Structure 1
Amino acid sequence: MPPAPSADWLLAPTLTGRFVELEALSLDHAPGLAQHATAETVGYLSRGGPAANTPPEWAAYIERLNALPNRVNFAVLLSDQVAGRISYSEVRPADLWLEIGTMLTPPFQGTAANPEAKLLLLERAFTVLGANRVHFKVDERNTRSLRAVEKLGAVREGTLRQFQVRPDGYARDSVMFSILGREWPEVRARLTQRLDALTAQPLS
């Protein structure tokens, strides 16, 4: 299948799965993010997070993310609540690749939110946009995210040492993983099996 036009790569259509809905990240999602976020939520983000865990600061953070070039941001909605955000954090249509970055708040970690949000964005990347490659960069200290990406079946390519300097001055080592188009059917099957075994977990 030929790749979609470059402009399509920067669109944020609503994507609906069995448990999760993704919609374009907007200021309306700031209160929901503030409701469930903790210091851990933003502790490993390469660009840092909001200055404080308040709706106005989350709104300012969302504005900063949405202003970045070559980036498409989605809110992750589960059980009518804002579970976090997932992004095409770099979009390179000329080279037929995308990067995906995910941030989920603690109550939604370990639920269907992560595998299905990734399934929806990977499906769009490979079958709609015609990407050859999707990759993920994970802070080497973030063991939870490392396990999650490994569980996808993504290939670990190596570590980019002191690759990104966070706003607090820490130069983080970023572990690179990737999925190629020819690997997508196997990864899709793995994600689908995980979702088949899951039920949405109600919040207390």
Structure 2
Amino acid sequence: MGSNVDAANMEETRSALREKNPKIVFVLGGPGSGKGTQCASIVEHFGYTHLSAGELLRAEAQSGSEDAPMIKNMMSEGTIVPSEVTIKLLAKAIMKNENDKFLIDGFPRNEENQVAFESITGIEPEFVLFFDCSEEEMEKRILTRNQGRLDDNIDTIRKRFKVFVESSLSVINYYNSKGKVKKIDASKPVEEVFEAVKAVFAPVDDKSG
């Protein structure tokens, strides 16, 4: 019975999203590549709303909902939560927000996520912002930031790197073949990385440059 309700909800969500027709930029990069920091600057300078798939999932994991135990378990294992669960959370967040420009950070994590997002929402991203950073640099950053997150210990970090490389590269290759990937060298200092990011967003958002 639940699945019929879900299907109806999804159909409703899809038509509402299509009507809203938001402008979406996927933000991808390994754990510790600095996505969150750069997204905060993009929000400030270019007026986007930042939606972190990971934060939405962490909040849902603590919410006591029926999906919460499964999400918590998968996150502590470093594996990927089912597409429908994440897309439902993202869609809800997009519809609740009056803005029509969104950065979706940390999603799609794999090819199945990407296919499901486009088929469920009917939306393709404007482009994909890919923060390219070496594994050792990311590991160093994560271990020093220590935000007390349940998924920030060395074993889980390494699992997350492995999952990122094995899964997300197919997404990057797919969008690259469509000319939609903007690759940023994320190993540089924060300010330099943002200069590169600004060069990507300025022509899109401000024709005067």
TM-score (norm 1): 0.32
Indicate the structure whose relative CO is greater, using CA pairs within 8 Å and at least 6 residues apart: 2
TM-score (norm 2): 0.31
Task: Write 1 or 2 for the structure with the bigger share of strand.
Answer: 1
| Larger Cα-atom Rg | 2
Task: Write 1 or 2 for the structure with the bigger share of helix.
Answer: 2
